[in-house]
Structure 1
Amino acid sequence: MPVSYYNQNAQSFYDGTLSVDMSSLFLCFEPYLSVRGRVLDAGCGSGRDSRYFLDQGFDVFAFDASAELASLLIYRPVSVCQFDKYSLETTFDGIWACASLLHVPKDKLSQVFCHLSSLLKRDGLFYCSFKYGADEVERDGRVFSSFTETGLEKISARLSLRIREIW
């Protein structure tokens, strides 16, 4: 995992992502959630998306592997842990993993999907985003796993996840 990259570059990553307009993605995700539902921001980075969901009235929990990024978020406590280690005695209406799971090596992704999806309520929504393609590359000490629709369908077929929509 690219934790050292994000710990060393926390402030510049935070500054560069905090004001990115994600409204088109939020509008695709929100209709599937219950009013005031519980959302897990998995790999929350700058906390931009957590802040949005909080402002919309959702009950938000967030975690990130980077302690440095987590320390920059002053409006809500952020757990510091890896995807496969996060646990809480609750379930979620939705999991939001925006540009975070793309750092999980492909050979570990099924395990991570399985673990995170176990935190969902029945019929919960799991949003994730990847770079488009079929490769896995390393840049600046970070792994980037890319997927096509077919690649994601293969992973979801092995799990209890059903793809509702791809965009």
Structure 2
Amino acid sequence: MADESTSSFYNDNAATYASRQRLLPIRRLDAFLSLLPPGAAILDLGCGGGQDSAYMLSKGFDVTPTDGSPAVAKQAEILLGHPVEVVRFEDLDEEEAFDGVWAEASLLHVPRAALPEVLERIRTALRPGGTFHATFKAGEAEGHDGFGRYYNYPSAELLSEMLSNGGWHNIVITEGDGSGYDGKPTRWLAVRTQK
């Protein structure tokens, strides 16, 4: 589903991307984890270099790290010391297997037209009452960045509508300024919702 230039970027730059200096989103991680029972089963969907998975594992959670790029998954395995499944969003096929799904800066590469189906796959993978977290780069129109990576650049309104139409509950969307791998100022949307 990811376009060719996006896939190529991650496969060609896996080591550099995975080992970059990156501040953990501790506040978002802790807020997400606080909504889950101790030792809860978490799917890290698009784990990148594995740093968020490592943090959640250190807190005693049962984490399943996955990434759509085989090369990036290998980098995460080195950090985590255990297997990282290669799973593309459109191939997620679990049913009520997780208490939480963490998708930090990953679903932003899903084509807008395919996002409702991917959100439904995530919803199916969650147990009743399960918590879902995702972040997106905000915008109005789909496009590519300077590295050729595709982004769906949604607005908060569009995400809220998609989630509501998909049957999600307790939808909270917050906005904040930051940056990304390209170092450019970025408006971020953080979504937290429940099945």
Q: TM-score per shorter chain, which class?
A: over 0.9
Which residue is 1:77 aligned to? 83
Could you give the per-residue CA deviations for residues 123-165 of structure 1, whole angstroms, max 9, x where no partner exists? 1001000012222111333211122221111101221212432
Q: Secondary structure at the match of 1:154?
A: helix
- Counterpart residue type for residue 134 of structure 1: E
Could you give the per-residue CA deviations for residues 97-140 of structure 1, whole angstroms, max 9, x where no partner exists? 00000000101100110111100000100100001222211133
Which residue is 2:104 aligned to? 98
Which residue is 2:15 aligned to? 11
Which 4+ residue blocks in structure 1 deviate beyond 4 angstroms?
none
Sequence identity, in percent?
33
Counterpart-to-counterpart distance in 2, 1:119 and 1:160: 14
Counterpart-to-counterpart distance in 2, 1:162 and 1:134: 24
Length, aligned pairs only: 166
Counterpart-to-counterpart distance in 2, 1:12 and 1:163: 37
Does 2:154 correspond to 1:166? no
Counterpart-to-counterpart distance in 1, 2:170 and 2:138: 16
Q: Tell me which of 24, 46, 50 is aligned to 1:47.
A: 50
Which residue is 1:150 aligned to? 157
Q: Secondary structure at the match of 2:39?
A: coil
Q: Secondary structure at the match of 1:24?
A: helix
Range 46-55 or range 25-34, more displaced = 25-34
Counterpart-to-counterpart distance in 1, 2:97 and 2:167: 16
CA contact (8 A) 2:44 2:101 kept: yes
Query: How large is the Cα RMSD of the aligned pairs?
Result: 1.5
Which residue is 1:122 aligned to? 128
Give 1:88 deviation, angstroms. Answer: 4.2
CA contact (8 A) 2:18 2:72 kept: yes
CA contact (8 A) 1:54 1:60 kept: yes
Change (3 A) 1:78 1:160: same
Q: Secondary structure at the match of 2:153?
A: strand
CA contact (8 A) 1:38 1:60 kept: yes
- Counterpart residue type for residue 129 of structure 1: T
Give the gaps of 5 or more residues in structure 2: 175-195
Counterpart-to-counterpart distance in 1, 2:169 and 2:153: 19
The structure in which a higher percent of residues are strand is 2
Give 1:67 deviation, angstroms. Answer: 0.6
Instruction: Trace 1:59-70 onto structure 2 (pairs within 5 A).
Output: 59-70=62-73
Give 1:3 deviation, angstroms. Answer: 1.7
- Counterpart residue type for residue 16 of structure 2: S
Change (3 A) 1:129 1:123: same
